[in-house]
């Protein structure tokens, strides 16, 4: 009989082992009935615990769904009133929501009964890991037929790219030259978000992950603001009814400098732009090795 | 994002997580009423101290840690923490209401009730919330190794209990039918 510790087997049941380690355990399971029975018992225990926790959550969600949430904007409840009425059994959920509203801030539509795991907070970076299929499906949703219209041959002509992207989002969008900042323009494509075109311009430095500039129709103008999305940092701004997002795995100072360089270039470009809106002549693409 | 929008987004995020936060507080306090009261106090403290929330931190991890921190503070402030009332069995069992009719077995409920709150939460964070050991340890202010050790001890103990129970209820079966005399 092979000796495998409960530590190893629980880690196996919990999916905490590396693939090679899991395969090694599985090979043992095929030949050792005692270990196989132990793993089955641990799996059963694990499953019962998961079911127990699911049952509690189901009860809480049912309570939440049964209690209509106050949605009036600007709802203000005095703090004392909240404490007095707080935890009556039938109104527990409402009471808790009111506590959150008790300082006089408006409540945005919370939909908190639908998907407890989903982050309604744009700042929120959840601990729950999505699997690769979910991540890929979300990325797939950004693709449209137009994504493939900018062929590889066009990628060497920044003016032609700018014209195509500009036609889609309604404003000139020549890929900014970020060579002085150590970034080479790599390629561009047209994505789709919420049925609206979303331009993506990709840049690559000598090392590290790509930096992307996104542009879509947006607000008239807004100053650059830095925000972190998990491991990805972003600087967002709007200008001439186009919303921009510069994103990459960079620190705040570096990304803000890049954004400033792009914005400065846009101002210079505006001053020199020809107003006829005609497409630039195609030029031969650079020879590929 | 302006500071006010940022804090508004915390509030919206907390609302979206209320059922999960309530489950966490219920299991910590040992019942729905006690859990609601604990969560109410925790939310008030979170809102009063929301400036301590750091951008980029997972909101659920921060909120769970705040609830746990308040519970621990109140335990430490208690004049005689050893004589705190024990969890009421019936209140604890009422936590496990299954809406789809699939009942949670009494053995598992009794097992969870017998665990110290910190160990119940370790299980909840790993098996219920699917946090990794580092995140779960961050919430409970212990190392990932401690989370792993707790998990092994608890799951193995439940598996042993279930196996022993199955052994007790097993009946002896005749493997070969006895030939009846003609």
Q: Chains A, B: CB contacts under 8 A, how many?
A: 215
Is the pLDDT score of A280 beyond 60?
no
Nearest residue to A8 via CA among A48, A54, A42, A51: A42
Q: Is A51 at the interface with chain B, CB within 8 A?
A: yes
Question: To the nearest whole angstrom, how far is the Cα of B182 from the nearest Cα of chain A?
Answer: 40
Interface test with A, best of B10, B23, B113 (most A CBs within 10 A): B23
pLDDT for B178 = 43
B59 to A123: CB separation less than 8 angstroms, yes or no: yes
pLDDT confidence of residue A102: 55
Q: Tokens 């097993």, residue?
A: B170
A207 compared with B149, residue with greater pLDDT: B149
Nearest CA in chain B to A121: B13
In angstroms, rounded to a whole number, what is the distance separating the alpha carbons of residues A98 and A73? 13
Do the Cβ atoms of A51 and B22 come within 8 Å?
no
Share of chain A above pLDDT 70, in %: 63
In this prediction, residues A88-104 reach a mean pLDDT of: 57
**DSSP 8-state secondary structure symbol assigned to residue A178:** -
Q: Which residues of A touch B11 (CB under 8 A)?
A: 100-101, 105, 107
A277-281, B22-26, B104-108, B153-157: least confident range: A277-281
CA proximity to B133, closest of A270, A191, A127: A127
Q: Is A249 on the interface with B (CB under 8 A)?
A: no
pLDDT at B24 over 50: yes
Q: What is the pLDDT of residue B123?
A: 94
pLDDT for res A65: 72
**In this predicted model, which residue has the larger pLDDT, B75 or A63?**
B75
Mean pLDDT of A45-57: 91
Decide if B39 touches A, using CB distance below 8 A. yes
CA distance A45 to chain B (A): 5
> Looking at residues A86-110, what average pLDDT do you find?
50
Q: What is the mean pLDDT of chain A?
A: 71
A269 versus B90: which is more confidently predicted?
B90
ipTM for the complex shown? 0.83
Quick check: A78 pLDDT over 90? no
> Do the Cβ atoms of A124 and B59 come within 8 Å?
yes
Q: How far apart are CA A243 and CA A246, in angstroms?
A: 10
Shortest alpha-carbon distance between residue A228 and chain B (Å): 6
Q: Check CB contact of B63 with chain A, cutoff 8 Å.
A: no
Question: What are the pLDDT digits (tens) for A103-134?
Answer: 433 333 333 333 333 343 444 444 445 566 66
Least confident of A52-61, A149-158, B126-135: A149-158
CB contact under 8 A, A60 and B156: no
Could you give the domains of chain B? 1-84 (1.10.1740), 104-170 (1.10.10.10)
pLDDT digits (tens, 9 = 90+) for B130-141: 999 999 999 999
What is residue B54's predicted lDDT score, i.e. its pLDDT? 77
- Contacts of residue B99 in chain A, CB cutoff 8 Å? 58-59, 62
Long-range contacts of B106-112 (CB under 8 A, 24+ apart): B107/B161, B107/B162, B107/B165, B108/A48, B108/A49, B108/A51, B108/A52, B108/B158, B109/A52, B111/B157, B111/B158, B111/B161, B112/A49, B112/A52, B112/B27
Pairwise CB contact (< 8 Å): B36 & A87: yes
- Report CB contact under 8 Å: A45, B158: yes
Residues A158-210: pLDDT tens digits?
777 777 777 777 777 778 888 888 888 888 888 888 778 888 888 888 878 88
- Which of the pair, A240 or B148, is modelled with greater confidence? B148
Residues near B100 by beta carbon (within 8 Å), at least 6 away in sequence: A58
Note the pLDDT of residue B27: 94
Indicate yes or no: CB of A44 within 8 angstroms of CB of B11. Answer: no
Interchain contact A97–B (C-beta under 8 A): yes
Helical axes B106-114 vs B144-169, angle rounded to 10°: 140
* pLDDT-derived band at B26, boundaries 50, 70, 90: very high
Task: Give the model's pLDDT for residue A110.
Answer: 36
CB burial string B143-165: b at 16+ within 10 A, e below? eeebbbebbbebbbbbbebbbee
Residue of A93, B143, B127 whose CA lies nearest to B135: B143
Highest mean pLDDT of the ranges A73-77, A237-241, A264-268, B109-113: B109-113
Q: Report the pLDDT averaged over residues B57-71.
A: 92
- What is the percentage of chain B residues whose pLDDT exceeds 70? 79
Q: What percent of chain B has pLDDT over 90?
A: 48
Q: What is the pLDDT of residues B1-13, one digit of tens each?
A: 555 666 667 788 8
């Amino acid at each position: 009989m092979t000796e495998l510790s409960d530590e190893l087997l629980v880690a196996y049941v919990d999916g905490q082992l590396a693939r090679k380690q899991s395969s090694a355990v599985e090979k043992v399971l095929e030949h050792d009935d005692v270990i196989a029975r132990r793993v089955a018992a641990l799996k059963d225990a694990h499953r019962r615990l998961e079911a127990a926790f699911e049952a509690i959550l189901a009860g809480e969600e049912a309570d939440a769904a049964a209690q209509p949430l106050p949605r009036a904007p600007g709802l203000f409840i005095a703090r004392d009133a909240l404490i007095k009425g707080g935890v009556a059994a039938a109104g527990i959920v409402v009471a808790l929501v009111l506590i959150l509203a008790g300082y006089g801030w408006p409540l945005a539509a919370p939909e908190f009964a639908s998907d407890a795991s989903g982050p309604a907070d744009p700042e929120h970076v959840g601990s729950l890991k999505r699997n690769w299929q979910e991540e890929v499906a979300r990325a797939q949703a950004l693709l449209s037929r137009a994504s493939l219209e900018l062929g590889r041959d066009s990628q060497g002509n920044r003016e032609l790219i700018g014209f195509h992207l500009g036609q889609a989002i309604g404003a000139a969008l020549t890929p900014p030259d970020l060579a002085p900042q150590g970034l080479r323009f790599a390629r561009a494509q047209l994505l789709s978000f919420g049925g609206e075109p979303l331009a993506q311009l990709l840049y690559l430095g000598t090392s590290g992950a790509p930096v992307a500039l996104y542009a879509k129709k947006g607000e008239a103008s807004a100053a650059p603001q830095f925000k972190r999305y998990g491991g990805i940092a972003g600087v967002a701004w709007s200008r001439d009814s186009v919303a921009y997002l510069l994103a990459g795995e960079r620190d705040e100072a570096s990304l803000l400098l890049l954004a400033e360089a792009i914005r400065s270039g846009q101002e210079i470009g505006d001053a020199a732009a020809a107003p006829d809106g005609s497409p630039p002549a195609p030029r031969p693409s650079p020879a590929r090795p | 994002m302006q500071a006010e929008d940022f804090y508004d987004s915390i509030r919206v995020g907390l609302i979206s997580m209320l059922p999960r936060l309530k489950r966490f507080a219920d299991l910590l306090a040992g019942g729905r009423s006690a859990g609601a009261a604990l969560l109410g106090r925790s939310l008030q403290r979170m809102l009063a101290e929301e400036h301590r929330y750091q951008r980029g931190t997972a909101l659920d991890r921060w909120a769970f840690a705040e609830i746990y921190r308040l519970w621990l503070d109140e335990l430490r402030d208690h004049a005689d923490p050893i004589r705190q009332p024990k969890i009421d069995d019936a209140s604890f069992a009422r936590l496990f209401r299954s809406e789809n009719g699939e009942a949670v077995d009494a053995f598992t409920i009794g097992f969870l009730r017998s665990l110290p709150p910190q160990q119940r939460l370790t299980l909840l964070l790993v098996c219920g919330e699917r946090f990794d050991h580092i995140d779960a340890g961050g919430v409970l202010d212990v190392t990932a190794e401690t989370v792993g050790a707790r998990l092994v001890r608890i799951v193995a103990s439940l598996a042993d209990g279930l196996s022993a129970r199955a052994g007790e209820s097993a009946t002896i079966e005749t493997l070969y039918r006895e030939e009846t005399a003609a």
